[in-house]
Structure 1
Amino acid sequence: MNDNYVHKEDGIVYIDENIPGPKEKNNEYISLIELCNSQLTHSCNCGVKCEENICDCLKISGGVNYTSHSESHYLKLYKKNKNVMLTYPIIECSAHCKCSEKCGNRLVQNGPIGTLYVTTCKEKSIGLGLFTNKFIAKGTFICEYAGEVITKSEAIRRQQYNENKRKMNYIFCLNEHVSGGTIQIFIDPSMFGNIGRYINHSCEPKSEIIPVRVNSPIPKLAVFSCVDIFPNEEITFDYGASYLTNSSKSQDLNNGKTCLCGSKICRGYMPHNVY
C-alpha cells in the first residue's frame, strides 16, 4: 500500500489499514478477533489482466468492479448505481492471486490518491477537514476510512463517553444485509486512523463509502467521489447515509448537534443513529 500521509495533530497514531481494537473479556471480542485473523479463501489464476468471465474474484463480485478512467489515470467504480442496491460484494484480487499487481481489480489496496491535504475549514468551528489540490472525477477512489475495528459493546461505550465529554464521535457503523440478517462492523479512527478520519459530514456530500474486501472478511470502508470535486474543495460524506445505516433507528434530530455543512439542503442537525 502506498500511503505517505501523516497526522498534523498530536496524540493520534497514523495507520494505513484497520487494526483490532483493545482486548475485551467477552465472546463478542473473541469472535471479532477470529474474523480479523481470517482470510478470504478464494483466489484467481489469471495472467497479467483479469477477465470478467475467467477471473474467480470477478465471478464472486458478480462482474467487473472497476473501469479505467483515462483522464485521471485512476480507476472508477463500475457497478455502483444509486437506484439499485449492490447484490454482490466487491472483492479485489489479493496476494494469493496469480494476476499482476497492475491488474484492474486492484484499487483500494493500493492506497489513497496523492492529492489530499488537511486544513481548517471555512467554517472554523468545524475544525479540520480533508481537501484536494487537484480535480477528482466522479467515481474515483479517494481513500479508505481506516481505524480500530471494535465490538458493538465497545462502540456503544465510546459513543456514550464522547457524548458525556462533548467529544467528536468518529465511529462508523457499517450494516450489511446477508441472508435475511444484518452484519455490523464498527470502525473508530479517533485515536488510530488514516487520512480518512478528517472527512466531515455534509447533507450534500461529495463522496460516499462503499465496502470493499481485500484478503479479509472485514471490508475496507472505501471512499469514492459521487460528484466531480474541484481543486481546493472539501471532501465530505453523509454520516447518516441510508444505504449504510438503514437498519439503525435514527434518534430525534433535535437531540443531535447542529449541522454546519452550509448546503442548500442542510437538514439542520447532524445525523445521530442508534446502533
Structure 2
Amino acid sequence: MNDEYMHSDSNIIYVDENIPGPFEDSVEYNNIVCNFNSRLINYCKCYLICTTGSCQCLMKSGDANYQMEGYTLNFQKDIGDLSYPIIECNSLCTCSQSCGNRVVQKGPINCLEVKTCGNISKGKGLFTTQFIPRGTFICEYAGEIITPEQAKKRHKLNDTLKKMNYIFCLNEYCDGTQLQMIVDPSEVGNIGRYINHSCDPNCLIVPVRVNNPLPKLAIFSQVDIHPGSEITYNYGSNSFVNSQEVENRKKCLCDSNNCLGLMPSDKY
C-alpha cells in the first residue's frame, strides 16, 4: 500500500490500515483478532488482468467491482447487496498489480490535504487539491477495530470530556445475519479520520475485502469533486427513536440544503 500521509499532531499515531484495538478478555475481541489474522480462501489464477466470467474473485463478487477504465467504482452493481460483496484480488492471486480488481489495496489518492473548514465550528476537514471523477477511491477510514463494549466506554468518555467522537459502526446484513465492525481512529488512525459528515455528501463508504474477512471502510466519490472542495460522507442512520435520543444528538454543521439539523448516530 502506498500511503505517504501523516498527522500534524504527534499525539495521534498514523496507521494506513485497520489494526485490532487494546486487548480485552472477551469473545468479541478474540473474534476480531482471529479474523484479522486469518485470510480469505478465495483467490484467482488469472494471467495479468482479470475478466468477468473467469476470475474467481469477480465471480465471488457477483460482477465487476470496478469499471476497468480508470478503476472507478461500478455503480451498476448493487453495493448494498451483501450476497455479492466487493472482494478485491489478494496476495495469493496470480494476476498482476495492474489488474483492475486491485484498487483500495493500493492506498489513498495523493491530492488530499487537511485544513481548517470555512465554518471554524467544524474544526478541521479533508479537502482535495485536484479534480476527482465520480467513482474514485479516496482513502480508507482506518483505525483501531474495537468491541461494542470498548466503543460504549470510549463514547461515554468522549461525552464526559467534550471530545470529538470518531467511532464508526459498520452494520452489514447477509442472509438474515448482522455483521458488525467498529472502528475508532481517534488516537490511532489514517487521514480518513478528518472527513466530516454531510447530509448531502459527495462520497460514500463501501466495505471492501482484500486479504482477510474484515472489510476495509473504503471511501469513494459518488459525484465529480472539484479542486478546493471538502470531502464528506454521511456518518450513518438519521432515524430518531425518541425525544431523549434527539436531545442527545449533536447539532449538524454541514450547512447543506438537505441538512436534517442533527448528527446521525448508530447504536453499537
1:147-226 paired onto structure 2 within 5 Å: 147-226=143-222
1:116 aligns to 2:112 (yes or no): yes
Residue 206 of structure 2: SS of its match in structure 1? strand
Aligned residues with identical type, % of pairs: 52
Which TM-score applies when normalising by structure 1? 0.92
> Counterpart in 2 of 1:33?
33
How far did residue 187 of structure 1 move? 0.6
- What residue is the counterpart of 1:127 in the other structure? 123
Residues of 2 paired with 1:178 and 1:84: CA distance? 10
The structure 2 residue matched to 1:240, chosen from 236, 251, 263, is: 236
Matched ranges for 1:88-107 at <5 A: 88-107=84-103
Quote how far apart the aligned CAs of 1:249 are. 6.2
2:79–2:85 CA contact under 8 A, matched in 1:
no
Task: Indicate the larger mover: 126-135 or 78-87.
Answer: 78-87
SS in 1 for 2:154: helix
Secondary structure class of the residue paired with 1:43: coil
Runs of 4+ in 1 over 6 A off after TM superposition: 248-251
In structure 1, the gaps of 5 or more residues are none
Q: Are the aligned partners of 2:207 and 2:216 in contact in 1 as well (CA < 8 Å)?
A: yes
Distance 1:62 1:81 in 2: 9
Alignment match, 2:43: 43
1:262 matched residue in structure 2: 255
SS in 2 for 1:234: coil
Contact (CA 8 Å) 1:239, 1:271: kept in 2 or not?
Answer: yes
Partner residue of 2:267?
A: 274
Give deviations 1:244-274, integer Å, cap 9, x for gaps.
Answer: xx9x968733321111111111111111222
Note the aligned Cα RMSD (angstroms): 1.9
Q: 1:30 to 1:78 in 2, by over 3 A?
A: same
Per the TM alignment, residue 163 of structure 1 is displaced from its structure 2 partner at its CA by 1.2
Question: Aligned letter for 2:29?
Answer: Y
* 2:139 aligned residue: 143
* Aligned mates of 2:206, 2:79 — CA distance in 1: 15
How far is 1:79 from its partner? 4.1
In 1: Cα distance, 2:251 partner to 2:44 partner: 49
Question: Kindly tell me: are residues 84 and 143 of structure 1, through their superposed partners in 2, closer, same or farther at Cα, counting changes over 3 Å?
Answer: closer
Q: In the TM superposition, what whole-angstrom CA distance separates every residue of 1:175-223 from its partner, at most 9, and x where no partner exists?
A: 0112211010001100111110000011111100000000010000000
- Paired position in structure 2 for 1:11: 11
Distance 1:221 1:84 in 2: 14
Number of residue-to-residue matches in the alignment: 267
Q: Deviations over 1:110-144 (max 9, x none)?
A: 00001100000001111110000001111111111
Q: Quick one: which amino acid aligns to residue 235 of structure 1? A: I
Structure 1 range deviating more: 7-16 or 74-83 = 74-83
**Letter of the aligned partner of 2:248 in structure 1?**
N
Distance 1:80 1:142, change over 3 A: farther
CA contact (8 A) 2:142 2:192 kept: yes
The change in CA–CA distance for 1:130 and 1:49 in structure 2 (over 3 A counts) is same
Contact preservation (8 Å) 1:254, 1:269: no
State the distance in 1 between where 2:8 and 2:79 align.
Answer: 39
Query: Hey, what's the Cα distance between the residues in 2 that align with 1:187 and 1:8?
Result: 21
Distance 1:83 1:64, change over 3 A: closer
Distance 1:80 1:219, change over 3 A: farther
